[in-house]
């Protein structure tokens, strides 16, 4: 499908009507929401799915024989099946519900990692990772005496693949890479990285937080052993996310947290664990969140994931051209393969001032280090302003961003 034809068929005005919050005014101006990489807005389909669960089916799952508990259990497990389909997993059991990407990566680090990474082993990440895909590995390395190695990026924000490959040895046990960078928008060549990781016997953990909202994800085609994502970044609720793990890896892993739901038998002499995925879901899960997340996945599929990607690429090209044309604006992150993120600095204004002035105009962007301090260090900036795109953004909203940048220039140039 060509980018232009898919973008042309995409009816953004119809999509906007699905998001009640877009009717809001901010500072007397129509809301222009360009902070989607931090968190996306929710369509009526998601809000209604959560409301319907609480209004008509609410009960605890898996333990009850009564009707509501059975309904809640069925809805929760149906949500798991939806998410398995959404990421291309072979079986529903490979989907573990977590609080989000951060918890998913911590689960892998502390369950798979402690069981498989020993003193002297190595874990390879990249310089462009979100802190969520750095700190859990750093903590693991400290605990077991392993070494964390970052693969460098170039000045466009592209991963230097040769350098990554040269870091991989038989000591490498885990390679952990973001699918899409939240600070730069770079799309990493995951299938190629999977081949490299597997060639040295390492497993590949993919941080998919910024990929699931924008592109089709197929964990098997990508060769990901683990894949993490967050509901709130893909138009679903907060406090829910997914960890995909290959079944044989999950089966062999020890529990991550202990408590109800994750056991088969309990005695003071010793306990045994439930099968996956329940082994990793101690306690009452976020039932409404999982149901809302599945509604979000269905919603994205109803829009067409290729059509979404084409729409956002089109907007990104438009936004890049118009922002670059503003004297004093410098784009951070211009990788060949990138999506949905317009990160920039303006020569004479701090990003936080930019953010405040844009907010006065009703334009919501994020300013700061975006939980990616090594990226900021690479580019020699303390922070950037980041406009990040979603399914409901329009060319007119990019125009509003550019016009609001005119106010920044008036004050600071």
Binds ligand PLP by CB under 6 A, chosen from 203, 209, 315, 398: 209
Binds ligand PLP by CB under 6 A, chosen from 40, 111, 132, 367: 132
Q: Are strands 203-207 and 226-230 parallel, antiparallel or unpaired?
A: parallel
Decide whether 340 or 408 has the Cβ nearer to ligand PLP.
340
Whole-number Å distance between alpha carbons of 68 and 29:
45
Whole-number Å distance between alpha carbons of 368 and 180:
18
Annotation marks residue 141 as catalytic: no
Q: Residues 6 or more apart from 21 whose CB is under 8 A from it?
A: 31, 33, 41, 42
Binds ligand PLP by CB under 6 A, chosen from 210, 212, 320, 367: 210
The minimum distance between CB 209 and ligand PLP, in angstroms, equals: 4
Decide whether 184 or 349 has the Cβ nearer to ligand PLP.
184
Whole-number Å distance between alpha carbons of 53 and 68:
10
Total residues at interface with ligand PLP (CB under 6 A): 14
Tabulate helix, strand, coil % of the chain (nearest 5): 45, 20, 35
Decide whether 106 or 111 has the Cβ nearer to ligand PLP.
106
The minimum distance between CB 309 and ligand PLP, in angstroms, equals: 17
- What would the x/- binding string for ligand PLP be over residues 182 to 201, using CB under 6 A? x-------------------
Decide whether 212 or 393 has the Cβ nearer to ligand PLP.
212
Positive or negative, the Cα torsion across 265, 266, 270, 272? positive
Active-site residue, from 78, 371, 376, 381: 371
Binding of residue 286 to ligand PLP (CB under 6 A):
no
DSSP 154-201: -TTS-B-HHHHHHH--TTEEEEEEESB-TTT-BBP-HHHHHHHHHHTT
* R_g of the chain computed on alpha carbons: 22
Q: Which positions from 356 through 375 interact with ligand PLP, judged by CB under 6 A? A: 371
Binding of residue 214 to ligand PLP (CB under 6 A):
no
Whole-number Å distance between alpha carbons of 360 and 367:
15
Decide whether 57 or 130 has the Cβ nearer to ligand PLP.
130
Which among 74-82, 94-102, 213-221, 356-364 is the span making contact with ligand PLP, rule CB under 6 A? Answer: 94-102
Report the catalytic residues. Answer: 371
Site for ligand PLP, rule CB under 6 A: 37, 100-102, 130, 132-133, 178, 182, 207, 209-210, 230, 371
């Amino acid at each position: 499908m060509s980018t232009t034809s898919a973008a042309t068929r995409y009816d953004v005005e119809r999509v906007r009507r699905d998001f009640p919050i877009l009717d809001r005014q901010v500072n007397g101006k129509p809301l222009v929401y360009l902070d989607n990489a931090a968190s996306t807005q929710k369509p009526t389909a998601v809000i209604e799915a959560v409301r319907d669960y609480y209004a008509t089916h609410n009960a605890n799952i898996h333990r009850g024989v009564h009707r509501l508990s059975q309904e809640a259990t069925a809805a929760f497990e149906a949500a798991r099946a939806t998410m398995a389909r959404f990421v291309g997993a072979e079986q529903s059991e490979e989907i573990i519900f977590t609080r989000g990407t951060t918890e998913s990566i911590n689960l892998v680090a502390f369950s798979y990692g402690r069981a498989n990474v020993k003193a002297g082993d190595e874990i390879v990440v990249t310089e462009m990772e979100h802190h969520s895909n750095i700190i859990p590995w750093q903590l693991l390395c400290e605990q077991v005496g392993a070494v964390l190695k970052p693969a460098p990026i170039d000045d466009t924000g592209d991963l230097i693949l040769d350098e990554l490959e040269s870091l991989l040895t038989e000591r490498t046990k885990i390679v952990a890479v973001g699918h899409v960078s939240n600070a730069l928008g770079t799309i990493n060549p995951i299938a190629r990285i999977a081949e490299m990781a597997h060639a040295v016997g390492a497993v590949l953990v993919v941080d998919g937080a910024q990929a699931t909202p924008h592109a089709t994800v197929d964990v098997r085609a990508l060769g990901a052993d683990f894949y993490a994502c967050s509901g709130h970044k893909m138009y679903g609720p907060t406090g829910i996310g997914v960890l995909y793990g290959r079944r044989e890896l999950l089966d062999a892993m020890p529990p991550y947290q202990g408590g109800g739901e994750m056991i088969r038998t309990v005695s003071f002499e010793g306990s045994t664990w439930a099968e996956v995925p329940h082994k990793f879901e101690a306690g009452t899960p976020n039932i409404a969140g999982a149901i809302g997340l599945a509604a979000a996945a269905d919603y994205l599929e109803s829009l067409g994931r290729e059509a979404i990607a084409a729409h956002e690429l089109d907007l990104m090209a438009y936004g890049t051209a118009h922002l670059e044309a503003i004297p004093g604006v410098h784009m951070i992150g211009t990788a060949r393969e990138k999506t949905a993120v317009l990160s920039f600095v303006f020569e004479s204004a701090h990003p936080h001032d930019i953010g405040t002035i844009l907010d006065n105009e009703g334009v919501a962007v994020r300013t700061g280090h975006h939980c990616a301090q090594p990226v900021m260090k690479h580019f020699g900036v303390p922070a950037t302003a980041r406009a990040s795109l979603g399914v409901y953004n329009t060319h007119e909203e990019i125009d509003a961003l550019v016009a609001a940048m005119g106010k920044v220039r008036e004050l600071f140039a």
